[in-house]
Structure 1
Amino acid sequence: MPATFPFMANRTPAQIRQTAHTGVVKAVLGPTNTGKTHLAIERLCAHSSGAIGFPLRLLAREVYDRVCAIKGPDKVALITGEERIEPKNARWSLCTVEAMPSRPDVAFVALDEAQLAADPERGHVFTDRLLHTRGREETMLLGSATLQPMIKALVPEAEIVSRPRFSTLTHVGAKKLSRIPPRSAIVAFSAEQVYVMAEMLRRFRGGAAVVMGALSPQTRNAQVAMYQAGEVDYLVATDAIGMGLNLDVHHVAFAGLSKYDGHRHRRLTTAEMAQIAGRAGRHQRDGTFGTLSGMGGHDPAFTDEEVYAIEEHRFAPLTRLFWREAEPRFDSIATLIEDLESPPPRPELSIAPQAIDLAVLKRLADDHDVTGSVRGQRAVQRLWDVCRLPDFRQQGEEVHSRFVARLWQDLQRGYLGADYVAQAIAQLDLPTGDIDTLQGRIAAIRSWSYIAQRPDWVLAKEEMSARARAVETRLSDALHARLTERFVNRRTTVLMRKAGSDAGLLPVRLSESGSVLVDDEPIGHLEGFRFVVDPLARASDRKLLLAAAERHLPALFQARAEELIVAASQGDGLRQVDDALLWNDLKVARIERGRTLLEPRVVPDPALDRLPPAVRAKLGDVLQGWFSGFVAQLLGPLLALSDASRASQSGASLRALLLHMVEAGGVLPRAESGLDRLDPVQREHLKKLGVRIGALDLFVPSMLRPAPLALWSALASVYGTVSAAPPVSVAPVIEAQNAPAGYRKFGIQCLRVDLAEKLLQAAHRTRISSRGRRCYIDPALARSMGLSTASFAALLRAGGFRVFMGRELAKGAHGAPVPPLWEWRPTRSGAADAALPPPVPTGAFAALAELVAR
């Protein structure tokens, strides 16, 4: 990758070296939260051109956005290994240290977190920038105070400026995870431990954002943004949090004080502890730090010396920085390796441990297929560039070297074709799978993002870079969604953020669908006037949800009660089902036994007990009034009979008959009614009351409709009256074991009593018109109602008719059989005869009747 900025194109390397060490060099040293980075941004913008090198792509992008807001996006460049935004007229550049040119020609240069020159893996890059990267007018080295001895020894011309921390940092001891205060960061040192802490916080506090070095920058940004926006109050992170992330953290809790550094498992240095703990507090706000307790006998603990050093910012100074030859020779692979492993020129510098790029180079140097294709200095330099591809997948030098070797072979043709790169990128464009799967794909696409940035490697660089960034964005969004889904319970988060320990602070409202919402997060729903906690809520949430409901729902219930009062007054949305009153399908009251069957009591549902007594009493009166009107509307004829039964002028016999009819729902068998005890005046009065006197039954026609029948049956059930069940169908004829209310049983079928009367009247009209003792009664009308021939015959017998079967045809004779003839012979026992099984008819017409019945 070219080591130049856009505005350096016209300068030769000699001119760059000539101006490299001119200008002021300042070393701004101090602990975290001293405003060092903010100062560097101010100085950058004060110069005509400049560059800042950051340890993380995330930081470079954050500061790039800030400088763009000041200078305009057409004047600012972002240069990282995976992303390059280089406007033609860019004069200010924000870079990662590795992507930052070591000899730039700019007015201002700053190196952030310069103490990372002591890092075994990346330290040699920071050391090179510290020694050689200078601005023409001003150079600023930012870092920890532990770097001061090295600055004095290696950069004696530097002016050292010490900056105190804006806020104090205090040790508060150990706390259980369930007692960690909001706006805290919990620091762990493995992905497994991060996941465990985040899952526990999901249970206790609704969830946490997750920040790990293995996440893509976009995912880390999204997680940090979620924390910063207050969607969650906790952050679980690895030690990556200690590197320049400006967060609103009040407390840092260490889940451990040791980590595996790639070579061994060791305790953190005091400086590393301070770097992480220093994330607590921001600007003038003080911060605290401590450890976690209750971890099964493995509770971490700071020593008194470590606490003192962190609180007072007193650490052992650095005595050596790591170094590696930054400008090796490319005469051959062996010469290149020799230079990269050459000893440092000064005692303050130490040879860097073998980094991944050098390890890969050595492996490829033993591959004859690779070495056979390297001819000349340009090829050696090109091979070294390929070996410096970062190991984003973190799978070790063996796996990474195989990937690099394949890349080198593909580059032997000169460039990677657009189709080849596009296919490799497309294979990774799968935003599905679990967290680990997505992390693996993101690491792979970051490798291709790095490759696509190289104009000397990839044709159609701009298009391929855009594709790789788009895929990385999609995968990062998917990973953010998976992390949020797994480690954030939005409902509990909202509850905890709004309420803390006081559920009364929760802003509860009711949606149109009846859901109870807190900041648009459903916590349950109302069933009538009963709050039902969301079944998906964790057991740990239920207590808080119910507490929120207890504090806020009475007001919602009262508003709903006012709606119900208006609805009941207008008869809108109320209906009766069995012994319950429903409003919009929600049970609001139950029907109980009253003074009489037609005067039931309406008792508000127990859920309405939450209402104020006055509102509940008013609602009860309104519901009672509505139901009384409903009963009067459907059962008005029965009410009239009931009133008449209490009138003294009706006479004892009529009053008794009327009482029986009310209890029977307006239908009474004639044989059991006592009708024969009524005089003509009483009979006339009975007819005026709407009672029809039939051959078999006394009935009120209007009470045979489905709605009145169902209501009377429900009231009879509530009152405890032994009565027939309501019909399950509104059909004229139904089949049932026992006759429902309003029906009479004939054979295996039940016929509504008014239709039975209609058929008997038609039979009598036929009898009268025949002027004979015996006549044929056509069963067509009965069959049109659905009544079988056998059931029709049973009806006629119950009505006083007797059947006479015709003689059978003589043997050998032909012709239609003689139909059965009916004769009316009423007897006092006619009603009882209706209950007897019908006689079995014989002859050809009987066979035909049986076929019709089937």
Structure 2
Amino acid sequence: MTLTSQPMILSGRGVTAVLGPTNTGKTHYAIERMVAHGTGVIGLPLRLLAREVYTRVAEKVGIQNVALVTGEEKISPPNARFSVCTVEAMPRETKAAFVAIDEVQLAGDLERGHIFTDRLLHLRGRDETLLLGAGTMRPILQQLLPGITVVERPRLSHLFYAGQKKITRLPQRSAIVAFSADEVYAIAELIRRQRGGAAVVLGALSPRTRNAQVALYQAGDVEYLVATDAIGMGLNLDVDHVAFAQDRKFDGYQFRNLNPAELGQIAGRAGRHIRDGMFGVTGQVDPFDQELVERIEGHEFDNVKVLQWRTKNLDFSSLHALRASLESSPTVSGLTRALPAVDQQALEHLSRYPEIIDLADDPVRVEKLWEACALPDYRRIAPAQHADLISTLFSDLVRYGTVNEDFLAEQVHRADRTDGEIDTLSARIAQIRTWTYVSNRPNWLADPTHWQEKTREIEDRLSDALHERLTKRFVDRRTSVLMKRLRENAMLEAEISVNGDVFVEGHHVGQLSGFRFTPISGAEGPDAKAVQSASQKALALEFEARAARLHAAGNSDLAISSDGSIRWLGDPVARLAGSDHVMRPRVIILADEQLTGNARDHVAARIERFVNHHISTVLKPLDDLSRAEDLQGLAKGLAFQLVENLGVLFRRDVTEEVKSLDQDARASMRRYGVRFGAYHIFVPALLKPAPAELITLLWALKNDGLEKPGYGDLIPVLAAGRTSVVTDPGFERTFYKLAGFRFLGKRAVRIDILERLADIIRPLLQWKPGQANRPEGAYDGRRFTTTTAMLSILGATLEDMEEILKGLGYRADAVRAEEAAAHLSAQDAAATPATETAVEDNAEKADHDDADSASEETVSEAPGAVEAVATEQPVAANSAEAEEPKPVLLWRLGGRTDNQRQARNQGERRGGNHRGQDRGTDQRRQGAGGGEGRDGNRQHHGKDGGKSHQGRGDRNEQRGDRQDRGDRKDRNNRAGPQPLRFEAKPPRKEKPIDPDSPFAKLAALKEQMKK
């Protein structure tokens, strides 16, 4: 049967065209007119928009009176009076009193235009017909529909051009438009990182997903919308600014620039009701020229000159006849034959399949084939693949009358999975939409209701999963919720976990440490300030509460770190800074601006009170010494210097003051914990880790030490109780001194350990050949070797020991290999347990005995006083290789020459007081080997009466001092380094004399002469 191709156009009488730009209220007007009639049908360009209008109509007349008909969905109450449809799903004929077709300018669209043209030319309402669209349709409608009434509606708000702006600088409530899914996703990802998140709207999304994304934007959960030109089709959105990220699109046939009317249709989404809108471009698009801007702002576009047309009179007598009828051309001016649509392309492929040609052998089957070709290509696959699916469906319909449900079940089951990412879920939704369409075709399935419900359920589940993935990927829920609550001016609810995590409205926004809030990383751009503002607003009460708790906190809750920070329950709340007084550092509160007023004053007062208490407690010996009222004269001055130097003085720096102190003054200072050592005047209690760390910290604050790299790490190392550490030349020696260490070459040794070293060396220098129980390391009366006890207490190697002894004023002599071997053998034979015990006793006594009588020559540290004659160590006698033994180092005092030593020996032979004088002078010059002074020797004698040689040395030292005062001035004028001197001590009670010493024989001789 062949039908004419002449278009049958109905009259324009009774038809009203309501034309105008976007935001003129055309759709709202059509809804109001439809519900005023008893029945009506309205056609809309998108399923999404049809859903929106369906909801609005149902609210007005009741859901039981409204039907929704789209290609994939049918809601048909039995007595529905109104139908909301997509244009493709509108009936070809109707008896409804009212008919409306929205966005009629799409009749010029190359892909879908022929469907709109068909409806506006042939579908009429019994009482009223409305055609809604752009003003560019007026001439063509008046030409094709004589007698039509045209009503133009002005835009309710103005539209302004905002120019070019970067995406990250776009204002809130902006829609960014692109024309590919990849570009939309890339833009949405950028906005999420920079501005908190965006909703996305694409034509490829299911209506449910698009609705959910639009709702996300409309509810204010996000401030940005990234979309394709789908938003230009009547979607009512609260958009203030439309930005074009692209101005080219693929229209199904080619890439082309958007024409001004299309740009105006999309830009017109900006502004709502009477609120003005703006449009512009992003940094990826060239700015619009002035002429284009004026046309968009004034809605002045080229009129639509032709409409896409395809005949409705199809010949189903054969495949060939159907194809020929589709090629018919219009004979009416203003219409043009449309390019082959998806259904026609599928028919062209299927007409070449032998099995299809065999099956489509009568008009009924040809018409059934054409009905099957109407299946939309939701999957956007190749035309040949789409044709294969249609071929399968058509074969089932012809052979069995319905689609094979086993095949349908298998296809549906493949799509029924919600795992995967955005692209995977989008593909499954496209697949299930195909079967949703099939289930809604009349007479295609044996049980259409079951499959309609099944496919709808799966599509909804997939759509929800896709919405969730989109939201998770492109929306920062924390920021979006906070932005919404801020716009509502609501008090935000904040929670703070025990570890300081801050949650606002249930979202983790940052970390609260003490009185400082740190937002989490990832929030950038202007929204970061908004998030911080929201957090600080919610944290205001928490700051007040914390200030009150800190004000009432005990000292045990506060601590001072080695970096100068003050921590409360582990969190930094302040830091120390230097001031004019080293013992009174300044306190700088570490808090955000929200801590103000009385709360801040209370925090500052409590921390300052803690700092003062901590310093006075940890450094109590210094505090007591500074407040001592029983110290008078030189003792008070020496105590002042000791406090100013934070508890450590080099003895060489206060030689005269120490010499001038009487025993009562010294005793009064000892009561405050002061020790007079061989090398230092110090307070042993301050060498403990806690005081040492605090002292070095205070000095570093005073001298900007903490700003120098490494000081902060070195403080805890020095205060860790180690006996010696490797030195760093980059640090000041004063720093080591205040930490309780003496800087000696490559190593720094703790002060009290050096005094113990002096106690070990002293008996080594006093031992004479022939004496019993020779101490380990003593070689003769003036030289000694390094012992394991020395190395042990210093924690040093032989090389380190050499540096340390040089720094203390000793010089090294090398002996021949034979002499070294003999010396080592003799030393091994004499190293008895008793000797080791004696060494330990000396070390123990160093903790509480003074060394006031130590020789000034020992503590002299003038340059050149020490010279290392040899630095090689002996090798083991049982070495595997025959090597020449290396020389061994024998240490002696560096301040005496061989001539002086020879003169001393001659003086000893003279006998009497002269010999005692020389001995006393020599012992004073031997430093640590010269005895402990009056008080020290009294203690030594009390502890070990057998060591009477120390007492004799003290008495000789006292006599020598008295006789040596007259020529002190002459000796000070001598060349070379001069030894420091101590004043002579008053005569003290005679002690028992060792019967094996030369003094015993001299005393016996004197007694005989008297008799």
2:374 pairs with 1:388: yes
Residues 394 and 634 of structure 1, relative CA distance in 2, 3 Å threshold? same
Once the 2 structures are TM-superposed, how far is the Cα of residue 103 of structure 1 from its aligned partner?
Answer: 2.6
Deviations 1:344-378 (A, max 9, x none): 57555443321111110120111113333445555
Once the 2 structures are TM-superposed, how far is the Cα of residue 734 of structure 1 from its aligned partner?
Answer: 9.2
Q: Any conservation in 1 of the 2:216–2:222 contact (CA below 8 Å)?
A: yes
- In structure 1, give the amino acid aligned to 2:357: T
Question: 1:582 maps to which residue?
Answer: 567
Rounded Cα–Cα distance in structure 1 between residues aligned with 2:118 and 2:949: 125
Question: 2:281 maps to which residue?
Answer: 292
- In structure 2, give the amino acid aligned to 1:85: I
Q: Secondary structure at the match of 2:230?
A: helix
2:37 pairs with 1:47: yes
Once the 2 structures are TM-superposed, how far is the Cα of residue 238 of structure 1 from its aligned partner?
Answer: 3.2
- In structure 1, give the amino acid aligned to 2:233: M
Question: 1:762 maps to which residue?
Answer: none
Question: 1:444 maps to which residue?
Answer: 431
Q: Any conservation in 1 of the 2:493–2:538 contact (CA below 8 Å)?
A: no
Residues 445 and 647 of structure 1, relative CA distance in 2, 3 Å threshold? farther
Aligned length: 734
Question: 1:512 maps to which residue?
Answer: 496
User: Which residue of 541, 564, 585 maps to 1:601?
Assistant: 585
Question: 1:316 maps to which residue?
Answer: 303
User: Which residue of 143, 154, 159 maps to 1:165?
Assistant: 154
Q: Any conservation in 2 of the 1:569–1:626 contact (CA below 8 Å)?
A: no
2:264 pairs with 1:278: no
Rounded Cα–Cα distance in structure 1 between residues aligned with 2:43 and 2:269: 21
Rounded Cα–Cα distance in structure 2 between residues aligned with 1:174 and 1:464: 49
Rounded Cα–Cα distance in structure 1 between residues aligned with 2:226 and 2:593: 45
Question: 1:301 maps to which residue?
Answer: 289
Q: Secondary structure at the match of 2:89?
A: coil
Residues 587 and 561 of structure 1, relative CA distance in 2, 3 Å threshold? farther
2:64 pairs with 1:102: no
Written as runs of structure 1 = structure 2, the 5 A alignment for 1:691-710 is none
Once the 2 structures are TM-superposed, how far is the Cα of residue 57 of structure 1 from its aligned partner?
Answer: 0.5
Q: Any conservation in 1 of the 2:189–2:473 contact (CA below 8 Å)?
A: no
Q: Any conservation in 1 of the 2:236–2:269 contact (CA below 8 Å)?
A: yes
Question: 2:116 maps to which residue?
Answer: 126
Q: Any conservation in 1 of the 2:72–2:437 contact (CA below 8 Å)?
A: yes
Once the 2 structures are TM-superposed, how far is the Cα of residue 163 of structure 1 from its aligned partner?
Answer: 3.5
TM-score by structure 1 length?
Answer: 0.67
Question: 1:819 maps to which residue?
Answer: none
- In structure 2, give the amino acid aligned to 1:165: P
Residues 450 and 476 of structure 1, relative CA distance in 2, 3 Å threshold? farther
Once the 2 structures are TM-superposed, how far is the Cα of residue 383 of structure 1 from its aligned partner?
Answer: 2.7
Once the 2 structures are TM-superposed, how far is the Cα of residue 59 of structure 1 from its aligned partner?
Answer: 0.3
Gaps of 5+ in 1: 1-19, 500-504, 667-671, 744-749, 754-773, 775-789, 803-822, 833-854
Question: 2:338 maps to which residue?
Answer: 352
2:203 pairs with 1:213: yes
- In structure 2, give the amino acid aligned to 1:453: N
2:602 pairs with 1:622: no
2:554 pairs with 1:567: no
Question: 2:238 maps to which residue?
Answer: 248
Deviations 1:706-756 (A, max 9, x none): 86786677668768999xx9998999x99987999999xxxxxx99x9xxx
Q: Which moved more, 1:170-179 or 1:473-482?
A: 170-179
Once the 2 structures are TM-superposed, how far is the Cα of residue 245 of structure 1 from its aligned partner?
Answer: 1.4
Q: Which moved more, 1:161-170 or 1:508-517?
A: 508-517
Deviations 1:285-325 (A, max 9, x none): 34455x538657x5443647x94587255652544451322
Q: Any conservation in 2 of the 1:212–1:237 contact (CA below 8 Å)?
A: yes
- In structure 2, give the amino acid aligned to 1:603: V
Question: 2:28 maps to which residue?
Answer: 38
Rounded Cα–Cα distance in structure 1 between residues aligned with 2:55 and 2:723: 81
| Higher radius of gyration, 1 or 2 | 2
Report percent identity of matched pairs.
36
Q: Which moved more, 1:262-271 or 1:515-524?
A: 515-524
Question: 1:798 maps to which residue?
Answer: 840
2:630 pairs with 1:647: yes
2:212 pairs with 1:225: no
Rounded Cα–Cα distance in structure 2 between residues aligned with 1:274 and 1:742: 82
Rounded Cα–Cα distance in structure 2 between residues aligned with 1:656 and 1:309: 92
Residues 60 and 797 of structure 1, relative CA distance in 2, 3 Å threshold? same
Q: Any conservation in 1 of the 2:631–2:669 contact (CA below 8 Å)?
A: no
Residues 398 and 580 of structure 1, relative CA distance in 2, 3 Å threshold? same
Once the 2 structures are TM-superposed, how far is the Cα of residue 462 of structure 1 from its aligned partner?
Answer: 3.6
Once the 2 structures are TM-superposed, how far is the Cα of residue 122 of structure 1 from its aligned partner?
Answer: 1.9
Rounded Cα–Cα distance in structure 2 between residues aligned with 1:661 and 1:252: 74
Rounded Cα–Cα distance in structure 2 between residues aligned with 1:67 and 1:796: 109
Q: Secondary structure at the match of 1:98?
A: helix
Q: Any conservation in 1 of the 2:232–2:265 contact (CA below 8 Å)?
A: yes
- In structure 2, give the amino acid aligned to 1:582: R
Q: Secondary structure at the match of 1:68?
A: helix
Q: Secondary structure at the match of 2:120?
A: helix
Deviations 1:117-174 (A, max 9, x none): 3333223322333344344454433333444455556655x76250312425456474
Rounded Cα–Cα distance in structure 2 between residues aligned with 1:792 and 1:424: 97
2:119 pairs with 1:77: no
Q: Any conservation in 2 of the 1:249–1:282 contact (CA below 8 Å)?
A: yes
2:46 pairs with 1:62: no
Residues 798 and 267 of structure 1, relative CA distance in 2, 3 Å threshold? closer
Rounded Cα–Cα distance in structure 2 between residues aligned with 1:395 and 1:517: 47
Deviations 1:263-304 (A, max 9, x none): 344454554344334333333334455x538657x5443647
- In structure 2, give the amino acid aligned to 1:133: L
Rounded Cα–Cα distance in structure 2 between residues aligned with 1:596 and 1:294: 59
Q: Any conservation in 2 of the 1:54–1:97 contact (CA below 8 Å)?
A: yes
Rounded Cα–Cα distance in structure 2 between residues aligned with 1:507 and 1:370: 69
Once the 2 structures are TM-superposed, how far is the Cα of residue 39 of structure 1 from its aligned partner?
Answer: 2.0
Q: Secondary structure at the match of 2:154?
A: coil
Once the 2 structures are TM-superposed, how far is the Cα of residue 335 of structure 1 from its aligned partner?
Answer: 3.6
Q: Secondary structure at the match of 1:421?
A: helix
Deviations 1:71-129 (A, max 9, x none): 33344332222222334454432221222322344443322223333333223322333
Rounded Cα–Cα distance in structure 1 between residues aligned with 2:162 and 2:675: 92
Residues 472 and 379 of structure 1, relative CA distance in 2, 3 Å threshold? farther
Q: Any conservation in 2 of the 1:325–1:342 contact (CA below 8 Å)?
A: no
- In structure 2, give the amino acid aligned to 1:629: H
Question: 2:405 maps to which residue?
Answer: 417
Once the 2 structures are TM-superposed, how far is the Cα of residue 511 of structure 1 from its aligned partner?
Answer: 6.2
Rounded Cα–Cα distance in structure 2 between residues aligned with 1:510 and 1:477: 28
Residues 554 and 528 of structure 1, relative CA distance in 2, 3 Å threshold? farther
TM-score by structure 2 length?
Answer: 0.58
- Cα-Cα RMSD: 6.0
Written as runs of structure 1 = structure 2, the 5 A alignment for 1:372-771 is 372-374=358-360, 376-408=362-394, 414-417=402-405, 420-421=408-409, 424-427=412-415, 429-433=417-421, 435-454=422-441, 456-457=444-445, 459=447, 460-481=450-471, 484-485=474-475, 512=496, 534-538=520-524, 541=525, 560=543, 563-564=546-547, 567-571=550-554, 573-578=557-562, 579-591=564-576, 599-605=583-589, 619-632=603-616, 639-640=623-624, 643-644=627-628, 646-648=629-631
Q: Any conservation in 2 of the 1:508–1:518 contact (CA below 8 Å)?
A: yes
Rounded Cα–Cα distance in structure 1 between residues aligned with 2:59 and 2:334: 41
Question: 2:809 maps to which residue?
Answer: none
Q: Any conservation in 1 of the 2:548–2:599 contact (CA below 8 Å)?
A: no
Residues 705 and 403 of structure 1, relative CA distance in 2, 3 Å threshold? farther
Q: Secondary structure at the match of 1:457?
A: coil
Q: Any conservation in 2 of the 1:212–1:238 contact (CA below 8 Å)?
A: yes
Rounded Cα–Cα distance in structure 2 between residues aligned with 1:496 and 1:827: 92
